């Protein structure tokens, strides 16, 4: 299976890269600021996913190098904390163009391949804040809410072409984004999680892998919470 992982060089995306590669899949990784070394079945491509022209060129290079894309995993994303009155128009554009815009730009280029092949899977990394909203993370939460709506819409649109589209919606996970939180806030989030701990990128990656295989052949249009029971 040829899988394209956007944002596959760090955090949840990196965990996905390692898992798919360990299963023997052919993995193409898009990265921007955090390089990743290519290996026998991992090929790295630098691209700013918020730039549609870069995305178009990069997907073309990926297809020329590794063939048609069977599965797309979109894990590119950025977060920003602060009061809504502190955010600027540039903040809005950066978060929106990366977290949601990049997903649109990449799917716009990948979907025609999948439609021609009459098969494929698309899995986006969302966030539980996209469902609940989050104080001091309004732009981030809104961008993830857009991801959820887009995923559901694509699932309806692409189902007749045998293309399954889902999102994994993590709870509190140990990634670089957690650096935005104080130790006190982290402990409070643990306390609010019924399992009493922070999740790991690997735990999210295993759900992504499941959604990308035939084991989940009748699952589409779902926003699957992997949050330790935080949202019950």
pLDDT, position 176: 83
Whole-number percent of the chain with pLDDT over 90 = 93
Residue 89: its H or E element:
helix 89-96
Averaged pLDDT for residues 134-156: 97
Rg (CA), the chain: 17
Point out which residues pair with 28 in neighbouring strands: 4, 43
pLDDT digits over 154-196, tens only?
A: 999 999 999 999 999 999 999 987 777 788 888 998 999 999 9
Q: Dihedral angle at the C-alpha atoms of 118, 121, 124, 128, nearest 10 degrees?
A: 120
pLDDT, position 180: 74
Give the C-alpha separation, 144 to 157, whole Å.
Answer: 20
Give the C-alpha separation, 26 to 28, whole Å.
Answer: 7
Give the C-alpha separation, 164 to 143, whole Å.
Answer: 22
Q: For 71, phi and psi rounded to 5 degrees?
A: -135, 135
- Report whether 157 contacts 111 (CB < 8 A): no
Averaged pLDDT for residues 2-29: 98
pLDDT at 151 over 90: yes
What rounded mean pLDDT belongs to the chain?
97
- Which tokens go with 18? 């390692």
Residue 30: its H or E element:
strand 26-31
DSSP sequence for 159-185: GGGTEEEEEEEE-SBSSGGGGGS-HHH
Which of 188-206 are b and which e, b meaning 16 or more Cβ less than 10 Å from the residue's Cβ?
ebeeebeeeebbebeebbb
pLDDT, position 206: 99
pLDDT, position 182: 82
pLDDT digits over 85-128, tens only?
A: 999 999 999 999 999 999 999 999 999 999 999 999 999 999 99
Averaged pLDDT for residues 196-221: 98
pLDDT, position 186: 84
Structural domains in the chain plus CATH codes:
2-226 (3.40.50.720)
Tell me which of 74, 100, 140, 209 is the catalytic residue. Answer: 140
pLDDT, position 217: 99
Q: Find tokens 């589209």 and name the residue.
A: 165
- Report whether 69 contacts 63 (CB < 8 A): yes
pLDDT, position 44: 98
140 is catalytic: yes
User: Which segment of 56-70, 102-116, 184-198, 199-213 scores lowest on mean pLDDT?
Assistant: 184-198
Task: Give the strands of the sheet with 71-74, arranged side by side.
Answer: 42-46, 26-31, 2-6, 71-74, 120-125, 163-170, 223-226
Q: Which of 30, 29, 11 is nearest to 125 (CA)?
A: 11
pLDDT at 201 over 80: yes
């Amino acid at each position: 299976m040829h899988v394209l992982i956007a944002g596959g060089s760090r955090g949840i995306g990196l965990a996905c890269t390692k898992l798919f590669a360990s299963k023997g899949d052919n993995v193409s990784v898009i990265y921007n600021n955090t390089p990743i070394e290519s290996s026998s079945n991992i090929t790295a491509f630098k691209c700013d996913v918020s730039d549609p022209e870069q995305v178009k060129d990069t997907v073309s290079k990926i297809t020329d190098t590794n063939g048609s894309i069977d599965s797309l995993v979109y894990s590119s994303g950025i977060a920003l904390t602060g009061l809504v009155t502190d955010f600027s128009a540039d903040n809005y554009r950066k978060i929106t163009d990366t977290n949601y815009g990049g997903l649109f730009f990449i799917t716009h280029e990948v979907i025609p391949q999948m439609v021609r092949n009459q098969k494929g899977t698309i899995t986006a990394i969302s966030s539980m804040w996209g469902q609940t909203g989050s104080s001091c993370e309004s732009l981030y939460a809104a961008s993830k809410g857009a991801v959820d709506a887009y995923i559901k819409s694509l699932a309806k649109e692409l189902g007749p072409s045998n293309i399954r589209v889902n999102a994994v919606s993590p709870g509190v996970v140990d990634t670089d984004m957690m650096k935005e939180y104080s130790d006190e806030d982290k402990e409070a989030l643990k306390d609010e999680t019924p399992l009493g701990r922070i999740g790991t990128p690997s735990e999210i990656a295993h759900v992504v892998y499941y959604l990308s295989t035939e084991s989940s052949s009748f699952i589409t249009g779902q926003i699957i919470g992997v949050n330790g029971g935080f949202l019950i």
